[in-house]
A = this chain, B = another copy of it.
Amino acid sequence: MEVEVKFRYRDGVEEKLREIAELIIEKFEHDFYFNHPCRDFKKTDEAVRIRRDVEGVTITYKGPKVDSETKSREEVKVKVDSFENAAELLKKLGFKPVEEVKKTRKIYRVGDAIVCVDEVEGVGRFVEIEIESESIKDKEKLFEIAELLGYSRDESITQSYLEMILQEK
Chain A residue total in the interface (Cβ 8 A): 23
- Chain B residues lying within 8 Å of A63, measured Cβ to Cβ, are 92
* Residue pair A79, B78 in contact (C-beta under 8 Å): no
Query: When the two chains form the complex, which single residue of B36, B78, B86 contacts A85, counting CB atoms closer than 8 Å?
Result: B78
Inter-chain contact A94/B61, CB cutoff 8 Å = no
Q: How far is the CA of A77 from the CA of B79 in the complex (A)?
A: 13
| Interface of A, helix, strand, loop or mixed by DSSP | mixed
Report A's interface with B, CB cutoff 8 A: 36-39, 48, 59, 61, 63, 74, 76-82, 85-86, 88-89, 92-94
A98 to chain B, nearest CB (A): 15
Task: Give the residue name and chain of the B residue nearest to A46 (CB).
Answer: B92
